[in-house]
Chains A and B, each alone.
Chain A
Amino acid sequence: MAKDLRSFLEDQQRCFPEEFLTIKKPVDPRNWDISAILEHLRRQGRFEITMFEQPLGMNGKPSPFRTLYNAFATRQRCADAIEFDREQWKMPLSEEFGRLEEQVVEPVTVAPGQAPVKEVVQRGEECDVGVFPGARYHHADIGPYFVMTMVLKDEEGGFYDISFAKNLYKGPRKVSASLTLPHLKRIFEQNEKKGKETPCIIVLGHHPAFYWGSLALTPFGNDDYRTVGAFLREPLRLTPSETWGSDFMVPADAEIVIEGVMPPGVREVQNPFGEISGHYQPQMLRPIVNVTAITHRHDAILQGVYPGHEAHYNLGAIPKEGSIYKTCKKLVPYVTAVHYPHSGCGRMSCYISIKKRQEGDAKRVGLVPLVESAQMQLVVVVDDDIDVFNETEVIWAVITNAQPSRDWDIIKNIASIHSWTEKVVIDATEPLDIPFPERIKVPEQALERVKLADYL
């Protein structure tokens, strides 16, 4: 049986039933009910996979669909999604992501009659995206959104690009398309210059490995359906779309697929929307999607991501950690670990540990994440006896090892997402060129000899 969201949920319920929560009472996602529940849980340190059984649709009527959150909210669960040992949730997990992003598995085609996502098919006037329980998450969000992935096909290159995107509900057959990420934007703008509309699909629920494959740091021109196969560890099953047939293939085992076209030269208002940085993304003009078809399972589950919180952070952090670790290793083999902490939203700060050989090693490594991503703001480099996944240890090293005038470098006039800014690299390794105090430690021999169980 092919992997899908249901097979993942069955595995999770069987192996970790205590990590699964069902909300049976009705909720109104347009009225912040879902984010309020997720926020209450979060404040208690709870990140169960949370299924809402009776949400209202974006049209205000009871939705026939369920909606699911927190599939990506813990690193252990992220490991489960790619069939990796959840106990190895620190650097080994990131390294595994880095390894998988270099692999491809060719997709296979199945007939529409064998595709669960085709159990219900609606075309043209029959379509109404308002039946789905998209949500409003933060107080100034302008309306309910879908927060999952869009797929575009590059006509000339013949490849599919899958990227996370958000879609604001604008009517029964219209949503916005944020197209913040550069690959989707590039395909749309190529078509727009030629006066052509851009076909697209929105995938609202699949096995989490489908989404991890979409996040691999692959170059423009990569066929992401092949990369998804590497993360699924089996071929992704595809089936012809309703709108374009085999000219645009869609994931056969998805929960819901919305097909549509983005007309050239059309922009409409979307946002404010509470985003990953913890601020509202401003109101802006963005392309729209005119819906041409909707296909879904009979009892489809709409998957969502609670924006600007743990699941959202992990989606950015883990693939980048693996990718940056590989890049650093090629340049400077003494790198031992890389972490993108939640305090930097999984994107804007990076902690790197190294086995330092000489002064200047830390600076050399510290520049790499700034080059890789325009979002990166702060890089801290520490010695390899510091656990970069333990922020208390990292900040201890900054406070006790680094001298700001010597070890903090401000990189001026460097490109950021919006324009240019200043970024910082901190060398928090112990200096080798001056006498320096020794770090305290309990002898390893004592830790091995004294077994805690013998004393409790």
Chain B
Amino acid sequence: MNMMADIFWVQCPKCQGRWYCEGDMKGVSNVVCPFCLHDFPQEESLEKVK
């Protein structure tokens, strides 16, 4: 019964903060850390994007 959102987790290389992104963003754009506002390519995420 869960909402089954399509998401992937990322981790900021600057502050190590973790959060998740909508599946449609995968490979499309940079992500922005909500904790330190560091803007970085998904490849730099400390948590492998999968």
Contacts and interface: CB of A to CB of B under 8 A. Distances in A.
B25 A283 contact: yes
**What band does the interface of chain B fall in when counting residues whose beta carbon is under 8 Å from A?**
20 to 34
Given A416-B4, A423-B1, A284 B19 contact: no
A416 B3 contact: yes
Contacts of A140: 19, 34-35
A189 B2 CA distance: 29
B1 to A, nearest CB: 5
Interface in B4-49: 4-7, 19-22, 24-25, 28-32, 34-35, 37
A155 B31 CA distance: 34
A343 to B, nearest CB: 13
B6 A285 contact: no
A285 B24 contact: yes
Interface string A267-287: 101011000010110111100
Nearest to B34: A142
Interface in A241-296: 267, 269, 271-272, 277, 279-280, 282-285
A359 interface: no
Contacts of B28: 285
Contacts of B35: 140
A284 B34 contact: no
Contact of A282 (B4, B21, B29): B21
Contacts of A378: 1
Chain A, interface SS category: loop
**What band does the interface of chain A fall in when counting residues whose beta carbon is under 8 Å from B?**
20 to 34
B1 A284 contact: no
A419 B20 contact: no
B20 A284 contact: no
A282 B3 contact: no
Interface string A369-411: 0000000011000000000000000000000000000000000
Contacts of A416: 3-4
A285 B25 contact: yes
A140 B18 CA distance: 9
Given A140-B19, A272-B19, A419-B6, A283 B34 contact: yes
A40 interface: no
Contact of A418 (B6, B30, B34, B37): B6
Contacts of B1: 377-378, 421-424
A280 B34 CA distance: 12
A417 interface: yes
B29 A418 contact: no
Contact of B21 (A279, A283, A421): A283
A141 interface: yes
A182 B25 CA distance: 20
Contact of B3 (A271, A280, A417): A417
Contacts of A269: 29-32
A277 B3 CA distance: 9
When A and B form their complex, which 10 residue pairs have the shortest distance between CB atoms, in order from nearest?
A142-B34, A284-B22, A283-B21, A282-B22, A269-B32, A418-B5, A282-B7, A282-B20, A377-B1, A272-B19
Given A269-B30, A283-B34, 6 more contacts: A142-B37, A282-B20, A283-B22, A377-B3, A378-B1, A416-B3
13 contacts: A269-B29, A269-B32, A277-B3, A280-B20, A282-B7, A282-B21, A283-B19, A283-B25, A284-B25, A285-B25, A416-B4, A417-B5, A418-B5
